[in-house]
């Protein structure tokens, strides 16, 4: 079997049996990046020398016979929003184009402590603002999947973690980190036919992760299987005193939850997610998922989340408001790019005009507007009240069910150039993912089949706060039932 086709779990066992070396494993993925990244643009920065040096250190640990950490020798991609000590971290923005952090984010430090090997920094929408990975100053990312019978049309990978999703799907990395503010792990996972989980808000530290919307941003893993996501999340998660929103709760054995019996589990089906105009193939995939969970021993329960219909509108008030505040620091004086001006005001204006792309500027303007005098009460405070009602909807539902099952996205991946002239249509891509983000609860996308055009479709499992174990259990059952073994048209074909 080609090394790039191995899962993290399989590679973990193979490395310990010495079937292959970490240097061979990492080298195979670096060769894949060298061959395909020019086309896919999944990585902004590739670090082959550092990766190979880390792989050789991993081999020395494995050869020594001592108990090696679980991710020893495993090649991962890191979304270019996580600060990495000594490695350029750009947020896919001209504003931070040359920023090299002198420190490591908590999430990436946790992965390194468990032996992971970083092969590079993955592309994203600028400052994580987007759902198609088209706003990066380093260029758009290409989805490795193709529509059946159409090898020419370039599809989006979803966003904002599109580079991570494309890298995993194309076998350029065994797993990758993502961040999810309103669906930026789950939606690209669905578009690229992989698994991805947004854990409970506060489960993973935000320290050292460049901020978009602080009350929503949450790191999480992306991988080809549910089990691999469980392995990665167990490493990434944990309490961090440097993050005031980090929650001091023990991290369970997520991998053990994969494959456990679902007998007696209650699965809620929210009526409000049956939106008008939903494509028949999305509805069919959802119904199939319901049938699979029923066959696995689950009890299916209809539930109502009445305020989730306002989730998207609420999100596009709260998130831009926090974005406006967080990105105020990039003024040409304290952080990032500086464009000279005759006066201080001109320096501010020139720096922010040149440093930020159109979508980031749009969200800053929206956020500044809703926070301005006379509009704060009418928009921002009202949105926060609705957000609290959305959270209460989920709390009420979880008093009667263990998890919820919904579609992940309202369509399969679309082509570059489609929808892109209409920001509202782009924002609607997150209609199914935003409510769980507003409530802060864990949610996972798992591949569930193919569309009529041969593109992957994902189903979303949503759980109670800090009950990622039930999410993994239900998601792994869906994964087994779907038997999803399809491969994208563009993938690594190296040993």
Query: Is residue 93 among the annotated active site residues?
Result: no
How far apart CA 23 and CA 78 sit, in angstroms, is: 19
The catalytic residue among 93, 160, 190, 445 is 160
- H-helix segments, 81-176: 106-113, 162-169
Q: How far is CA 395 from CA 146, 304, 398, 463, in A?
A: 40, 11, 5, 10
Contact 272, 309 (CB under 8 A): yes
How far apart CA 369 and CA 383 sit, in angstroms, is: 14
How far apart CA 111 and CA 495 sit, in angstroms, is: 25
The radius of gyration of the chain from alpha carbons, rounded to an integer in Å, stands at 21
DSSP readout, 61-100? HHHTTS---TTTT-EEEEETTB-BTTB---TTSGGGTT--
Residue 208's closest CA among 77, 70, 319, 110? 110
How far apart CA 135 and CA 342 sit, in angstroms, is: 30
How far apart CA 243 and CA 141 sit, in angstroms, is: 31
Residue 458 DSSP class: E
The catalytic residue among 21, 164, 184, 190 is 184
> Is residue 450 classed as helix, strand or coil in its secondary structure?
strand
Query: Is residue 136 among the annotated active site residues?
Result: no
The catalytic residue among 79, 121, 198, 419 is 79
Query: Is residue 79 among the annotated active site residues?
Result: yes
Residue 96's closest CA among 179, 182, 176, 209? 209
How far apart CA 168 and CA 176 sit, in angstroms, is: 7
Q: Which residues are known to be catalytic?
A: 79, 160, 184
């Amino acid at each position: 079997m080609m090394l790039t086709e191995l899962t993290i779990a399989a590679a973990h066992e193979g490395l310990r049996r010495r079937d292959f070396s970490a240097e061979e494993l990492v080298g195979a993925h670096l060769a894949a990046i060298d061959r395909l990244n020019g086309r896919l643009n999944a990585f902004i920065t590739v670090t082959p020398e550092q990766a190979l040096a880390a792989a050789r250190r991993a081999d020395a640990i494995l050869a020594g016979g001592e108990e090696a950490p679980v991710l020893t020798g495993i090649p991962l991609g890191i979304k270019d929003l996580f600060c990495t000590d000594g490695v350029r971290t750009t947020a896919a923005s001209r504003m931070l184009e040359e920023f090299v952090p002198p420190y490591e984010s908590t999430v990436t430090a946790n992965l390194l402590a468990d032996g992971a090997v970083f092969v590079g920094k993955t592309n994203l929408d600028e400052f994580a603002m987007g759902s198609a990975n088209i706003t990066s100053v380093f260029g758009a990312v290409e989805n490795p999947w193709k529509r059946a019978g159409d090898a020419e049309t370039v599809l989006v990978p979803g966003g904002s973690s599109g580079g991570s999703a494309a890298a995993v799907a194309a076998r350029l990395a065994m797993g990758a980190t993502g961040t999810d503010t309103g669906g930026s792990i789950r939606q690209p996972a669905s578009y690229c036919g992989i698994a991805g989980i947004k854990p409970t808000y506060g489960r993973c530290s935000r320290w050292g992760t460049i901020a978009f919307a602080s009350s929503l941003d949450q790191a999480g893993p992306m991988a080809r299987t549910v089990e691999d996501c469980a392995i990665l999340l167990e490493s990434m998660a944990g309490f961090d005193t440097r993050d005031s929103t980090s929650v001091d709760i023990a991290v369970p054995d997520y991998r053990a939850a994969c494959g456990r019996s679902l007998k007696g589990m209650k699965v809620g089906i929210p009526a409000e997610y049956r939106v008008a105009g939903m494509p028949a193939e999305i509805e069919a995939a959802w119904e199939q998922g319901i049938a699979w969970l029923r066959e696995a021993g689950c009890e299916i329960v209809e539930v109502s989340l009445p305020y989730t219909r306002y989730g998207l509108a609420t999100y596009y008030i709260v998130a831009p408001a926090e974005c406006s505040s967080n990105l105020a620091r990039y003024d040409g004086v304290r952080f990032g790019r500086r464009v000279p001006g005759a006066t201080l005001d001109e320096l501010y204006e020139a720096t922010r005009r040149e440093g930020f792309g159109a979508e980031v500027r749009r969200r800053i303007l929206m956020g500044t507007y809703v926070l301005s005098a006379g509009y704060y009460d009418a928009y921002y405070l009202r949105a926060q009240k609705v957000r609290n009602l959305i959270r209460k909807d989920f709390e009420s539902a979880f008093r009667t069910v263990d998890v919820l099952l919904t579609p992940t996205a309202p369509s399969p991946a679309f082509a570059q150039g489609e929808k892109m002239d209409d920001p509202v249509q782009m924002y609607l891509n997150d209609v199914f993912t935003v409510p769980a983000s507003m409530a802060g609860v864990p949610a996972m996308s798992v591949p569930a089949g193919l569309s009529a055009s041969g593109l992957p479709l994902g189903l979303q499992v949503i759980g109670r706060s800090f009950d990622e174990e039930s999410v993994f259990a239900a998601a792994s059952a869906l994964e087994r039932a779907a038997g999803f073994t399809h491969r994208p048209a563009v993938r690594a074909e190296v040993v």
